[in-house]
Amino acid sequence: MVERWASGLRGYGLIVAMWIRATMVYRTSFIINTLGNFLVTGLDFVALLLMFSHIHALGGFGLPEIALLYGATCSSFGLADLLLGNADRIGQRVRDGSFDILLLRPVPVLAQAAADRFAPRRLGRIVQGLLVLGWGISRVDVNWTIGKALFTVVMVISGAAIFSAVFIAGAAFQFWAAEASEVSNSFTYGGCTLLQYPPTVFARELVRGVTFVVPLAFVNWLPALRLLGREDPLGLPGWVSCCGPLVAVAALTAAGLIWRAGLRSYRSTGS
Amino acid sequence: MRLYAAVAVSGFRRYATYRMATAAGVFTNTVFGFILAYTFTALWAERPRLGGYDQAQALTFVWVSQALLATAALLGGGFETELQERIRTGDIAIDLYRPADLQLWWLSADLGRAAFQLLGRGVVPLAAGALCFQLDLPAAPLRWLSFLLAVFMGLLVSFALRYLVALCAFWLLDGSGVNVISMLLGVFCSGMLLPLTLFPGVFGEIVRMLPWASVLQVPLDVLLGRHTGWSLAGALAFQAGWAVALLGLGRLTQARATTKVVVQGG
């Protein structure tokens, strides 16, 4: 078991290193693309700034508080997107038959799928998210302690793990519906957009859905509400907001099982 | 003319083939429509009549822009990466050999694609939005006709912009950088991100005069009844002006680019 994990990680590392070397051949292109990624993903924050040029609070939250929510989800999502964002190319590989190649190589398929065309330009989103998070942290009305700082770090990392689970589940879904890669965008990109705004903006059923069905609320909503000392709209007991890491492990396990089931059901197109 | 009609029809049929992908796209547009509709509701609850729209109009803006997202190819996904790839690999030489005009050929194919995506990816998200939210959709058929005309003019501008972007590949070979910049401008300056009427001051004035405004903002304002009579004619003329200018620029660029093409033997 441990050996399999080690070989998977080693394979992942080797493929990632290969793609980084390949990207760095076109250094100018890499710089432009990273900058472009930074700017494109930052547009959502520009939209928030434009909104706040007309208003002082959205759903009862001020700009610094929303910046904290936004920065946390963008950093988490950026990490997951960097580490295995290309897993959603699986559908294309299933369609054109090149998925069979992945099955032949002596590296776990998930590691190969995740590292496939690893794109260092995605650092742009992470940097952008962390900058906004940092600005939000410096501006919100919170008495920062070491405990709270650690809590924030754990929030970002377990958020990344939850998004990773969504990415894996979305990739696995394509074993059954190879053309439907865009459905997973609703949960990944859509989830990231959703979490940029405070939960008070949305209908309660929607908030329930992303708490109990697809546990995106644990990425930033529940932990950040705790940091900010705010009531959560569902009125859950206080300890729930500390469950991020546990939820992340559970989500990753579930996603792993779905991936396995998908992989088992794969039939080559034979071309 | 028959040739270009046939190209347009095949463009339509090409995209109509992928039913599952269309259904997936409709799902995603609808999800994003819901998310944005809630945030716009909160925004307009703070500031009613923001940007000159009431809440129902703002929600209409959200849902119609989701319905037009694929059609206008604001996030890419049109023909441009394909054309860039043909330029990079040299297949463009075959295209230039054909007894058809390069720009008109791709324009017809793109209009075919857009027509399919207007039907396939536009109708369902808008219907979902109209079912779940109070929208301000006009009852007058004439308004819808002028909206469709404005959408068509917007498509010409959108095509002309993306054609220029695609032609950059003649000089750069790798189009990914320009594509990112094009997408950035497309999302920001078209009204996709936020209605352009919310952009403050002189900056807002400038953005509303740029060609991207005619892709989304103008058709939406036509639908919402902000342009009637002479103002409608002015809006359509604004779109037509940009379409002619940019298509013309595309022709000039194409003429310059094709003199550069060297067909290697073999």
Collect all residues with Cβ–Cβ distance below 8 Å to B138 and sequence separation of at least 6.
Answer: B144, B223, B224, B225
Is 70 exceeded by the pLDDT of residue B265? no
pTM of the model: 0.91
Q: How far apart are CA B35 and CA A165, in angstroms?
A: 21
Segment A97-110 mean pLDDT: 90
Residue B58 domain-assigned? yes
Q: Is B20 on the interface with A (CB under 8 A)?
A: yes
Give the pLDDT score at A271. Answer: 54
Contact A51 B32 (CB under 8 A): no
What pLDDT, on a 0 to 100 scale, did the predictor assign at position B171? 87
Interface check B265 vs A, CB under 8 A: no
Closest-CA distance, A27 to chain B, in angstroms, reads: 12
Alpha carbons B150 and B222: distance in angstroms, whole number: 7
For the ranges A41-55, A60-74, A173-187, B132-146, the lowest mean pLDDT is seen at A173-187
Q: Which of A154-163, B82-91, B228-237 has the lowest mean pLDDT?
A: B82-91
Q: Distance from A4 to chain B by nearest Cα, in Å?
A: 35
pLDDT score at B262: 74
Mean per-residue pLDDT, A83-107: 88
Contact A40 B180 (CB under 8 A): yes
Contact A55 B177 (CB under 8 A): no
Q: What is the mean pLDDT of the segment spanning A15-29? A: 90
Report residue A270's pLDDT band, with 50, 70 and 90 as the boundaries. low
A25 CB neighbours in chain B (<8 A) are none
pLDDT at B174 over 70: yes
Q: What's residue A28's pLDDT?
A: 83
Query: Residue B31 pLDDT > 90, yes or no?
Result: yes
Residues of chain B with C-beta less than 8 angstroms from the C-beta of A57:
46
The structural domains of chain A, with segments of one domain joined by +, span 2-264
Q: What is the mean pLDDT of residues A42-71?
A: 94
Find the closest chain A residue to B132 by CA distance: A203
Does the structure show a pLDDT above 80 at B263? no
Confidence of residue B44 (pLDDT cuts 50, 70, 90): very high
Q: Name the percent of chain A lying above pLDDT 90.
A: 68
Tell me if B124 is assigned to some domain: yes
pLDDT digits (tens, 9 = 90+) for B50-105: 999 999 999 999 999 999 999 998 887 778 889 998 988 888 888 888 889 999 99
pLDDT at A96 over 90: no
Q: What is the mean pLDDT of residues A171-179?
A: 88
Instruction: Label residue B166 by pLDDT band (50, 70, 90).
Output: very high
How high is the pLDDT of residue B141?
93
Give, in degrees to the nearest 5, the angle at Cα A245 between A244 and A251.
85
Structure tokens at A79: 């990490």
Q: What is the pLDDT of residue B75?
A: 83
Lowest mean pLDDT among A208-217, B153-162, B169-178: B169-178
Structural domains in chain B (count): 1
B138 assigned to some structural domain? yes
Q: How confident is the model at residue A79 (pLDDT cuts 50, 70, 90)?
A: very high
In this prediction, residue B21 carries a pLDDT of: 87
Tokens of A149: 């700082």
Neighbouring C-beta atoms of residue B138, cutoff 10 Å = 15
Question: Residues of A at the B interface (Cβ-Cβ below 8 Å)?
Answer: 26, 29, 32-33, 36-37, 39-40, 43-44, 46-47, 50-51, 53-59, 177-183, 185-186, 190, 193-194, 197, 200-203, 206
Is the pLDDT at A136 greater than 70? The verdict is yes
Q: Is residue B266 part of a domain?
A: no
Q: Residue range B25-34: average pLDDT? A: 94
Long-range Cβ contacts of A49-55 (<8 Å, 24+ apart): A50/B194, A50/B198, A50/B199, A50/B200, A51/B43, A51/B194, A51/B198, A53/B200, A54/B43, A54/B46, A54/B47, A54/B50, A54/B198, A55/B43, A55/B46, A55/B47
Q: Which long-range contacts (CB under 8 A, 24 or more apart) does A226-235 make?
A: A226/A151, A227/A68, A227/A142, A227/A148, A227/A151, A227/A152, A227/A155, A228/A65, A228/A68, A228/A140, A228/A142, A229/A142, A232/A199, A233/A199, A233/A200, A233/A204, A233/A207, A234/A204, A234/A207, A234/A208
| Residue B173 vs residue A30, higher pLDDT | A30
Give residue B21's domain range.
2-259
Q: Provide, rounded to the nearest whole percent, the portion of chain A with pLDDT above 70.
A: 99
